[in-house]
Amino acid sequence: MARLGTNCLLALLLFTLIVDIAQAQGNRGNGNNGYGFGDSGGGKGDPIMTSFDGRSFEFFGQVGAYYNVISEKQHQMSMKLKLGQMWDHNGTYMEGLGFRYQDHKIIIELGADDNMHVYLDGKRLEMAVGENEQEHIMGLESGELMLLWQLNRPDAGEAVEITTDLLSVVVFLTPAGTRDEGGAIQPAYLNFDAALLGPPAHGLKGIIGEGYESLAEGRAAAEADDFKFHGEEEEFRMDGYFATAHTHNAFGVAHAGGAASRVRRLIESRVAFPLRGSAGRAFSAATLPVLAGSDALGRKGGI
Ligand SMILES: *[C@@H]1O[C@H](CO)[C@@H](O)[C@H](O)[C@H]1NC(C)=O
């Protein structure tokens, strides 16, 4: 009897969590509301971020500072911010993005020419005259890293796609010349759209990474959708793209926060991957799978 009661309770708990996950993910289907850099192409300043639990929020940050976006035992993704002068206030835009997978490091930065400068393991990649895309695939002892740089990606313009066994990230450029709500002309800036391809074996941290932890632990429901970042910005600040001394680092750390509890595994088995996170302007909506209602539920089998 007691055993039956526990199972019923667990089933009810799971049901509630799954509905929450479905709702959190379903929010993405509502057009560009809340992304800030929506259809108008205008900017509000300050990257609008969406974490892996579907929550969107404004992240302010300091001009010139680096912040950790995703951190996991073998992955690290960070951003560098620059000044954005709006018609009525100063904000920040993403100027650079660093991505590390195992021992390999990629940096994508806006150059003085407002184009993307792409570095792979410290070496700047160059497009030859007439070339408009290049692909680099690195087979590692375990896993693979792919980098695809395109000058004219149909859904995103100039873009770099980075893919590992865990993450697929598209970093894309918004050229200078868009206008904010007050008509002030904005500089070029970077955006990204990240897909978490499956459950990470170790903990996930970082500004959008930790959203996954809330989801996997069933905390998503408790957080109000207030468009605010709930962490301490300074605890995500780094000394450079690949620094690991900040409070919420998980790079090189086994099982950082990723306790493999029974309830967590049950929840993870019901999450439909990929989960998406993003920063900046909304990625071309046509390319995003719209997860709504039962589509957001896992299809990997029962409880
Ligand atoms: C925005 O930043 C610029 C450059 O630092 C400065 O000159 C300007 O006064 C700032 N504007 C506001 C509204 O703070």
Backbone Cα Rg of the chain: 19
Report the separation in Å between the CA atom of 109 and the middle of ligand 1, taken as the mean of its atom positions.
Answer: 23
Evaluate whether residue 253 is within a structural domain.
Answer: yes
Residue whose CA is at the smallest distance from ligand 1 atom 13: 89
For 8, phi then psi, to 5°, come to: -60, -45
C-alpha 139: how far from chain center: 24
Evaluate whether residue 301 is within a structural domain.
Answer: no
The mean of the pLDDT values for the chain is 80
Evaluate whether residue 303 is within a structural domain.
Answer: no
Provide the domain count of the chain. 1
Question: Which residues make beta-bridge pairs with 85?
Answer: 90
Report the separation in Å between the CA atom of 115 and the middle of ligand 1, taken as the mean of its atom positions.
Answer: 24
**Residue 83 Cα: closest atom of ligand 1:** 2
Q: What is the mean pLDDT of residues 178-189?
A: 90
Can you give the length of the chain in residues?
303
Instruction: Name the token pair of 110.
Output: 């806006």
**Residue 63 Cα: closest atom of ligand 1:** 5
| Closest CA relative to residue 196, chosen from 176, 166, 240, 229 | 166
| Closest CA relative to residue 184, chosen from 289, 45, 4, 303 | 45
Evaluate whether residue 27 is within a structural domain.
Answer: yes
Evaluate whether residue 175 is within a structural domain.
Answer: yes
Cis before 199? omega within 30 = no
- In one letter, which amino acid is 102? Q
Report the separation in Å between the CA atom of 183 and the middle of ligand 1, taken as the mean of its atom positions.
Answer: 17
Residue whose CA is at the smallest distance from ligand 1 atom 14: 90
Evaluate whether residue 94 is within a structural domain.
Answer: yes
pLDDT tens digits, one per residue of 112-136: 999 999 999 999 999 999 999 999 9
Report the separation in Å between the CA atom of 186 and the middle of ligand 1, taken as the mean of its atom positions.
Answer: 14
Confirm if 277 and 211 have CB atoms less than 8 A apart.
Answer: yes
Model pTM score: 0.80
Of the two residues 145 and 179, the one the predictor is more confident about is 145
Instruction: Name the token pair of 228.
Output: 């605010």
For 293, phi then psi, to 5°, come to: 50, -135
Confirm if 96 and 241 have CB atoms less than 8 A apart.
Answer: yes
Residue to mutate, 81, 86, 90, 180, ligand 1, most ligand atoms under 8 Å from C-beta:
90
Report the separation in Å between the CA atom of 82 and the middle of ligand 1, taken as the mean of its atom positions.
Answer: 13
Q: Which residues contact 224 (CB under 8 A, 6 or more apart)?
A: none
| Closest CA relative to residue 193, chosen from 289, 82, 110 | 289
What is the structure's pLDDT at 239?
A: 97
Confirm if 106 and 192 have CB atoms less than 8 A apart.
Answer: no
Banded pLDDT at 19 (limits 50, 70, 90): very low
Evaluate whether residue 210 is within a structural domain.
Answer: yes
Percent of the chain with pLDDT over 70: 74
| Closest CA relative to residue 15, chosen from 270, 292, 264 | 270
- Ligand 1, CB within 6 Å, residue ranges: 83, 85, 89-90
Q: Which residues contact 4 (CB under 8 A, 6 or more apart)?
A: none
The yes-or-no verdict on residue 147 having pLDDT over 70 is: yes
Report the separation in Å between the CA atom of 65 and the middle of ligand 1, taken as the mean of its atom positions.
Answer: 17
Evaluate whether residue 219 is within a structural domain.
Answer: yes
What is the span of the domain harbouring residue 57? 2-296
pLDDT tens digits, one per residue of 192-227: 999 999 999 888 999 999 999 888 887 755 556 788
Largest CA distance in the chain: 74
